[in-house]
Every structure is written in structure tokens, then in C-alpha cells.
């Protein structure tokens, strides 16, 4: 299994038309360090299912002014992969509260912001067939 990235220069929140389009165009321009739709996009694609991804809520705590390139860290990759599997198994909407921290590693590993998002997944495969 490929190692899940732990940081990114840019985080695209959401897997809607704008988020996916932005991710596509940045990747086409050579951006390699982009986290889009967070860590759910690969497991959703691997499932072969039509899984709807939305964020039910968003909370941000900005602790310090970042004075450099911000890196975002999320250690929930395995839990999100399991969330996708549970969504497919049950056919019911599944929710998971993700935690993300932002740091400026060129200056220090002090957290400059914390984010909490509730990722909500629903398998819509039967609806689209």
C-alpha cells in the first residue's frame, strides 16, 4: 500500500466540481504536494462506488499568524479508509470528525492553526445505476 502523505502545501476542502477541477488543473501544472478532498479520494476511487463526499461542519482555531509556507497534517488516513469501507458495507451515511493541524516547518513545529471537519460519506451507487 502507498504511504499516505502527512503534509501538503495546499489543501482543497471539498470534492465538488470546483474542488476537483482545481485539483485537476494544479496536478496538470505539476503540483505534487496537494491534498484534495482530504484523504478520502483515493479510497473512494479504489472502492469503484459512487460515494458522495461532503463536509457537514467546519471549525477552525487560528493560534498564530503563519510567517511562511504552511503545511497541513492529518493522521486520520487509516480511519478515513475504514470509513469508506464501512460506507460501502452498510449502504448508510457515515460520518467522521477529522482533525488537521497547520505548522510552518521552516520556522518551527508549533501549531499555527487547528481544524476540525466532519467528513460525511454516502454510497449513491444504486441511485446512479
- When pLDDT is cut at 50, 70 and 90, the band that residue 36 belongs to is very low
Q: Name the residue among 96, 117, 111, 87 with its Cα closest to residue 12.
A: 117
More confident residue, 119 or 9: 119
CB 47 within 8 A of CB 84: yes
DSSP sequence for 30-63: T--SEEESGGGHHHHHHHTS-EEEEEEEEEEEE-
Please indicate, yes or no, if residue 49 is contained in any of the structural domains.
yes
Residue 73's domain comprises: 10-128
Please indicate, yes or no, if residue 1 is contained in any of the structural domains.
no
Please indicate, yes or no, if residue 3 is contained in any of the structural domains.
no
Rg (CA), the chain: 15
Question: In degrees, to the nearest 5, what angle opens at C-alpha 50 toward C-alphas 35 and 48?
Answer: 80
CA distance 113 to 110: 9
The pLDDT score that the predictor gives to residue 94 is 96
Q: What is the CATH number of the domain that holds 116?
A: 3.10.129
Q: Name the residue among 52, 66, 50 with its Cα closest to residue 95.
A: 52
Please indicate, yes or no, if residue 59 is contained in any of the structural domains.
yes
Residue 24 in this model has a pLDDT that exceeds 90? no
The pLDDT score that the predictor gives to residue 96 is 92
pLDDT digits 0-9 by tens, 68-126: 887 778 888 889 899 999 999 999 999 999 888 888 889 999 999 888 888 899 999 87
Please indicate, yes or no, if residue 116 is contained in any of the structural domains.
yes
Residue 31 in this model has a pLDDT that exceeds 80? no
pLDDT digits 0-9 by tens, 43-70: 888 899 988 888 788 888 899 988 888 7
Structural domain count of the chain: 1
Residue with cell 470534492: 15
pTM exceeding the 0.85 threshold for the entire prediction? no
Amino acid at each position: 500500500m502507498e504511504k499516505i502523505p502527512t503534509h501538503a502545501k495546499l489543501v482543497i476542502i471539498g470534492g465538488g466540481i470546483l474542488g476537483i477541477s482545481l485539483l485537476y488543473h494544479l496536478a496538470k501544472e505539476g503540483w505534487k504536494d496537494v491534498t484534495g478532498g482530504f484523504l478520502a479520494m483515493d479510497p473512494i476511487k479504489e472502492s469503484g462506488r459512487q460515494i458522495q463526499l461532503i463536509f457537514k461542519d467546519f471549525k477552525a482555531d487560528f493560534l498564530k499568524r503563519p510567517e511562511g509556507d504552511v503545511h497541513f497534517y492529518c493522521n486520520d488516513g487509516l480511519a478515513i479508509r475504514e470509513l469508506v469501507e464501512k460506507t460501502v458495507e452498510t449502504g448508510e451515511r457515515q460520518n467522521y470528525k477529522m482533525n488537521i493541524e497547520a505548522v510552518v516547518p521552516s520556522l518551527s513545529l508549533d501549531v499555527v492553526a487547528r481544524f476540525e471537519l466532519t467528513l460525511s460519506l454516502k454510497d449513491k451507487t444504486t441511485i446512479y445505476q
